[in-house]
Structure 1
Amino acid sequence: MRLVIARCSVDYVGRLDAHLPSARRLIMVKADGSVSIHADDRAYKPLNWMTPPCSMREEPVVDVDGEDTGAQLWIVENHKGEQLRITLEDVVSETEVELGPDPGLVKDGVEAHLQELLAEHIETLGRGYTLVRREYPTAIGPIDILARDESGATVAVEVKRRGGIDGVEQLTRYVDLLNRDDLLRPVRGVFAAQEIKPQARTLALDRGFECLVLDYDELRGIESDELRLF
C-alpha cells in the first residue's frame, strides 16, 4: 500500500466531470490498483476514487514554456476511459508498505449463521427472490448477499446481528459501487438484522434502503414464508 499526503487538486473526467480544488489530502494506492483520495473528515468515505482494473502513470507538470514546475500529475484510468487526474503540488510525506494477505473479516457465529440461513431461505426477503451469491466480491470487500427480486432487479443485502449506523454506511458504499456496473444497476439495498437501532433505521430509510428484522429462532425453523419489511 502506498500512502501519500500532499497538497493536490483532483479532476475526474468521465460521464460527469468533477473537480476538487487544491488542499492537503491523503492519497491511498492499494495493491489491487485502486486509488482513493481522502480528506481529514467524512470518516472513511473517500472524496473520489477509482476502482480496479485501472492503470496509473506519473508525469511532470510543465508550464507554457515547457519548464518543469516541480508538480506531478498522476493519471489514473479505467477500461472505460474514465480518468482521475491528480495534480500533486507539494508532497508532505510518502510511505509504501507491503501489507501481505489479509485473512478477511471474521464474523461472530450468530451473524455468520444469519447470513447463511437468509441465503438458504432467500424468499424471506420477498416472494420471487433468487440468490445470486453469498459474499459477493467487490473492490471494497464482499457483500453479504447479492440477490434478485421477482422483477429481476439486483438487491444488495447487508446482514448484522445488531444493526447500527456503521452497517448502513457499509451498505451505502456497496450500493454506490454496484450502481456503477451497467450489468447490475439499478441496485437496491436491504439492511437486515436481529435488532436495528432507531438512528440506523432512520438513516437507512432516508437512503432508500429497506429494513428487515430477522428472528433468529424463526429463521432457523423457517416457520413463515416472509419476515417483516419496514
Structure 2
Amino acid sequence: MRVVIARCSVDYEGALQAHLPPATRLLMVKADGSVLVHSDGGSYKPLNWMAPPCAMSEVEPDDAEREEGVCAVWLVRHGRREDTLRIRLHEVLSDSSHDLGVDPGLVKDGVEAQLQALLAQHIQTLGAGWSLLRREFPTAIGPVDILCRDSTGATVAVEIKRRGDIDGVEQLTRYLELLNRDPHLAPVAGVFAAQAIRPQARTLALDRGIRCVTLDYEALRGMDDAEHRLF
C-alpha cells in the first residue's frame, strides 16, 4: 500500500463531475489498484475514490497546472467505464509504501457458528434435563443447527441466528415439516434462538407453535454472572 499525505486538488469525471479544491489530504493506493482520497474527518468514508478495475499513472502537469504550483499529477482511469480521477499534487508532505501481506479477514465474535457451539455445549440453557442429539443434523434442504431432546424425551429442532427475523422462522418451519415426516423423530418441536428477535418474527413463530429464545452470548461464554434470558 502506498500512503501519501499531500496538498492536492482532485477532479472526478464520469457519471457526474466533482471537484475538491486544494487542501491537505491523505491519498491511498492499495494493492488491488483502488485509489482513495481522505480528509481528516468524515470517519472511514473517502471524499473521492476509484475502485478496481482501474489503472493509475503519474503524468507531468500541463502548463496551466504548473502555473498553479502543481508538481505532479495522478491520472486514474477505470478499466470498464470512462470515469477518470485527476489528482493534482501541489506539495507532498509524506510518501511511503508498505507491504501489508495477506489479510486473514475479519473474525467476528458472536457469529452463528459460535452461538451454535456454545448452545450445544450448554444445551440445558433451553431447559433442565435437555440433551444434545447432534449439531448440523442433515435434511434434504440443509442442516438443522441443533437437534436435541427435552426433559420428556421429545425431539426439538433449534434454529440459531444472530438477528432473528421472519426468514429464519420460515426456514425453521420448513425443517420441522421435513423432520415430522420421520416416524423415528416425530413429533418434533421447534425453538427459534437468537441474540435479538424482531417482533414480527416472534409473532409468526408463536403463531406456528415455535418457542422463541433470546440468547445471551456473554453469559453463554461464562464471562458474566447474568442468568440466561429465555424470553
2:229 matched residue in structure 1 = 228
Task: List runs of 5+ in structure 2 lacking aligned partners.
Answer: 1-107
Native 8 Å contact 2:145 2:159 kept in 1: yes
**Superposition RMSD in Å:** 2.0
CA distance in 2, matches of 1:145, 1:108: 20
Quote the offset at 1:196 in angstroms: 0.1
2:142 matched residue in structure 1 = 141
Native 8 Å contact 1:124 1:225 kept in 2: no
1:177 aligns with 2:175: no
Structure 1: which 4+ aligned runs deviate by more than 2 Å?
A: 222-230
Instruction: Give the fraction of aligned pairs with identical amino acids, expressed as a percent.
Output: 73
Greater C-alpha radius of gyration = 2
Quote the offset at 1:227 in angstroms: 2.8
Question: What secondary structure does 1:168 align onto?
Answer: helix
Native 8 Å contact 1:190 1:210 kept in 2: yes
CA distance in 2, matches of 1:155, 1:205: 15
Question: What secondary structure does 1:151 align onto?
Answer: coil
Quote the offset at 1:222 in angstroms: 7.1
The AA in structure 1 aligned to 2:135 is R
Native 8 Å contact 2:218 2:224 kept in 1: no
2:89 matched residue in structure 1 = none
Question: What secondary structure does 2:189 align onto?
Answer: strand
Task: List runs of 5+ in structure 1 lacking aligned partners.
Answer: 1-106
What whole-Å deviation, never above 9, does each CA across 1:77-130 have from its counterpart, x for those lacking one?
A: xxxxxxxxxxxxxxxxxxxxxxxxxxxxxx986111000000011101100000
CA distance in 2, matches of 1:194, 1:109: 9
> TM (normalized to structure 1)?
0.51
1:200 aligns with 2:186: no
Distance 1:179 1:208, change over 3 A: same
Quote the offset at 1:135 in angstroms: 0.2
The AA in structure 2 aligned to 1:187 is V
Question: What secondary structure does 2:172 align onto?
Answer: helix
CA distance in 2, matches of 1:123, 1:224: 16
2:113 matched residue in structure 1 = 112
The AA in structure 1 aligned to 2:213 is L
> TM (normalized to structure 2)?
0.51
Native 8 Å contact 1:125 1:226 kept in 2: no
Report the number of matched residues: 124
Residues 1-230 of structure 1 mapped to structure 2, 5 A cutoff? 110-221=111-222, 227-230=228-231
Quote the offset at 1:180 in angstroms: 0.4
Distance 1:120 1:202, change over 3 A: same
CA distance in 1, matches of 2:122, 2:211: 18
Native 8 Å contact 1:190 1:212 kept in 2: yes
